[in-house]
Amino acid sequence: MLNIPDSPYERIVIIGAGFAGINLAKKLAKKKFQLVLIDKNNYHQFQPLFYQVAMAGLEPSSIIFPLRKLFQNNNQVHIRITEVDAIDTQNKQVSTELGEIYYDKLVIATGAKTNFFGNKSFESLTFGMKSLSESLILRNAILSDLELALTEPEYEERQGYIDIVIVGGGPTGVELAGALAEMKKYILPKDYPELNEKEVDIYLFQGGPRLLMGMSENSSERAKEGLEKLKVKVNLDTRVTEFDGKFVTTHEGKRIRAHKVIWAAGITGNTIEGTLSADKLMRGSRYNVNQTNEIIGTENVYALGDIAYMETEEYPSAHPQVAQVAIQQANNLAQNLIKNQERPFKYKDKGSMATIGRNKAVVDLPSMKFSGRFAWLLWLVVHMMSLIGFKNKIIVMLNWMWNYITYDQSLRVIIKSDKPKET
């Protein structure tokens, strides 16, 4: 058992401490509920800034917040760091690696994971960007390969170390490409003067006809122009079909020498093995929910955020898998649980944005669309204010100010784990 004490209050088990899970827990924490928050990590991660950790622009600690610190002095919130193996809706029981726990109401907020579309070589050989650990692994790989490139006299072999391919032209791919291009422009000449930065090529492949498909055509075009000014090789309507660890192959037969491929081509629901029945999963491995986020065909089992598939008149193919949907669904469910009501969820689109690089971003608001320096400043403010913890906000702001003034991140360290020698 997970050793949760008995309580006179209704027990709500929340699986996942992402945007949906953490906001629901915060709303219910001081109400008459017993909360059990389950996550495999003991911290909340701010996913929109993973790419800045990977590019050595931010410290990892500045975009995470410890779960126990968030709920200090609240004896009705119980945190368990483990992974969920299965859910038994008949007996209202969650099975984890640490044991079983019973629930009165269950909320699944496990988010999404990288979608490799069944390609095992992509899954094993490419870099994802869905966790802090993946961001650090990518940072280590980029910096380690730059070190190796210094000692490689052969041009073709050196290209494998220094060229980078990004697959997927959504916000993650666009922001990564811009950050890499700025690293090439501002950092390589200072840190690696022995390397010719003009040899470094950054490729961005998008299977569709434009970048940022979820944003306006104007923003897509501005993003493409901005990346091309930074010398990113943008390839539209181009699918990557193979990667063997050394060469990338497109559907047109083009081959590119690159040891690093960053996969940002899509996401799929992070479902729990053996959870519920297959008929409750919709396109993208998302749970089919009604207008109050209850999984259809169940009682008192809810899904929030990226893992939820809710069809509405405005969104017949379900809501976009973005943070604002997760936050708003969590807020609506919290009010329903507190007031014992069934108010249907209605998404209020507050807009979307993506940064391309220094002084460059695109913003789509419901009432206007714009790009440039002001869009970039707005992006900075929104992301900084969305972080949990005043200390994190200050650290991120100071890092960004220092980066802007000096054109330097100063966080380019390769962190490796030391293994004891066998005797």
Q: What's the token pair of residue 180?
A: 């890499």
The kind and range of the H/E element at 282 are: strand 281-282
Residue length of the chain: 423
Distances (CA, A) of 208 to 173, 205, 239, 305, 391: 13, 9, 9, 25, 40
Helix boundaries (H) for 215-361: 217-229, 323-339
Residue 265 contacts residue 168 (beta carbons within 8 Å):
yes
Buried b (16+ CB within 10 A) or exposed e, 144-182: ebbeebeeeeeeeebbbbbbbbbbbbbbbbbbbbbbbbb
Q: What's the token pair of residue 35?
A: 């909360």
Encoded amino acid at 109, one letter? A
Could you count the other beta carbons within 10 Å of the beta carbon of residue 231? 14
Considering 175, 221, 252, 342, which one is annotated as catalytic?
175
**Residue of 66, 40, 18, 74 whose CA lies nearest to 391:** 66
Q: What's the token pair of residue 6?
A: 């008995």
**Annotated catalytic residue 83:** no
Q: ∠ CA(24), CA(312), CA(22), 5° rounding?
A: 10
Q: Please state the three-class secondary structure of 191-245 as a single string.
A: HCCCCCHHHCCEEEECCCCCCCCCCCHHHHHHHHHHHHHCCCEEECCCCEEEECC
Q: Tell me how far apart the alpha carbons of residues 301 and 278 are, in angstroms, rounded to a whole number.
A: 15
Q: Tell me how far apart the alpha carbons of residues 230 and 202 are, in angstroms, rounded to a whole number.
A: 10
Query: What is the pairing mode between strands 43-45 and 33-39?
Result: unpaired
**Residue of 269, 271, 206, 196 whose CA lies nearest to 234:** 206
Query: How far apart are the two ends of the chain, measured CA to CA in Å?
Result: 39
Could you count the other beta carbons within 10 Å of the beta carbon of residue 348? 8
Question: Residue 278 carries which DSSP code?
Answer: G
* Residues carrying an active site annotation: 175
